A and B are shown apart, each in its own frame.
Chain A
Amino acid sequence: MEQFTALSVTKEKRPVRYLVVDDSVFARRNLARMVESFGGVMAGEAGDGFTAITEYNRTLPDIVLMDITMPQMEGIEAVERIVRQHPDARIVMVSSVGYQENILAALQKGARHFVQKPVRPDVLYEIVRYVLNDDGVLTGAGIGGSQKEAV
């Protein structure tokens, strides 16, 4: 997998911490590999919306990558509950189902962005950078153009 210029948090100068939420182990593993290629670390992972809320409260990640269709509690409801408790939560929806009503519902509940599966690493990198930049979270390395490095 291609490597990207590492994104790091300005204040603490540490790697960005991610919470990955998806009921598919395959999808979580795939996203974890991308997170690693962005220079990030996994703060936690969850396979449903309920666990996502618990894991968010436990780990307080910098950003969440959240699937929509999941058992027990779907992603959009989990977003609503997390954002109600943590208005500054940065959540990016990652789903294969990308029709307009779904996207709008997620954004209305507080999600910051949406990316459709299959996820291209360069697209997700740009979205993560955009969302973190928007809050002034990123340090110099993450600000500017797309910065890929060949491994």
Chain B
Amino acid sequence: MRMDLIQPFVSAADSVLGELLQGPTVVGNPSMEEDAYRRKGVAALIGFQGDIEGRIIFDLEPETACRIAGSLAGAEPPAAADDSVVAETLCELANMIIGNAVTLLNDRGFHFRVQPPEVHTDAEGMKSSYDTEAVVMSFETPAGFVYLNIGMRYNRRRKTEREAAVTA
């Protein structure tokens, strides 16, 4: 997986989480996940298509999700992670992170469209090609750990490779 495509997501997550949670974030080391994705808690999924195709899963432990939802709403944390406020907050947070990353990538010449975020409820899932090579990033925030599971492929290179194979 190309780290130059991953880095904008890491930078965006670091920046957005730091800004919204008003505190420092510590970015953990990336790890490769070769098996199907297993959800850690409350998760939002955003898919994207274009020069780069794939999906990002934004995943939080239930207590962390409640703390973040309460903090961003300026209210007490919801009692349960299945509260609609938690899902709404999570999706918008994912939307902001992905949107900021897309902005960085687009300005570098990568063009793709992002789908609206959706709450990801499967405990395990999507044994698609994206999942066979996914990078998991962790971010330690004042509210707890936040995980980004990034699975993507770069279509432009694949097309070039196919063309090279045909001419060879």
Which residues of A come within 8 Å of B, CB atoms? 1, 23-27, 29-30, 33, 69-71, 95-101, 116-118, 120
B155 on the A face (CB < 8 A)? no
Q: A33-B74, A118-B16 are in contact. Are A26 and B99 (CB under 8 A)?
A: no
Chain B 78-112 interface residues, beta-carbon cutoff 8 Å to A: 85, 88-89, 91-92, 95-100, 102-103, 106-107
B89 and A97 within 8 A (CB): no
Cβ-neighbour of B107 out of A26, A69, A71, A100 (below 8 A): A100
Contacts of B97 in A (CB 8 A): 96
B116 and A117 within 8 A (CB): no
A24 and B114 within 8 A (CB): no
B106 and A101 within 8 A (CB): yes
Known contacts A25-B88, A30-B72, A100-B106; can you find 13 more A-B pairs with CB under 8 A?
Answer: A26-B88, A26-B89, A26-B92, A69-B95, A96-B98, A96-B99, A96-B103, A97-B103, A97-B106, A99-B102, A116-B99, A116-B100, A117-B95
Q: List 11 A-B contacts (CB under 8 A).
A: A25-B88, A26-B89, A30-B92, A96-B95, A96-B99, A96-B100, A97-B114, A99-B102, A99-B107, A117-B96, A120-B19
Beta-carbon nearest neighbor of B100 in chain A: A96
Which residues of B come within 8 Å of A, CB atoms? 16, 19-20, 72-74, 85, 88-89, 91-92, 95-100, 102-103, 106-107, 114, 116
B91 and A26 within 8 A (CB): yes
Determine which residue in B16, B97, B98, B106 has the highest number of CB atoms from chain A within 10 A of its CB, and name it: B106
Beta-carbon nearest neighbor of A33 in chain B: B74
| Nearest CB in chain B: distance from A69 CB, A | 7
The prevalent SS among residues of A at the interface is loop
Contacts of A70 in B (CB 8 A): 116
Beta-carbon nearest neighbor of A22 in chain B: B92
A29 and B73 within 8 A (CB): yes
| Nearest CB in chain A: distance from B93 CB, A | 8
B74 and A118 within 8 A (CB): no
B88 and A98 within 8 A (CB): no
Beta-carbon nearest neighbor of A29 in chain B: B73
A116 to B101, CA, bound (A): 12
A116 and B88 within 8 A (CB): no
Contacts of A30 in B (CB 8 A): 72, 92
Contacts of B74 in A (CB 8 A): 1, 33
Contacts of B116 in A (CB 8 A): 23, 69-71
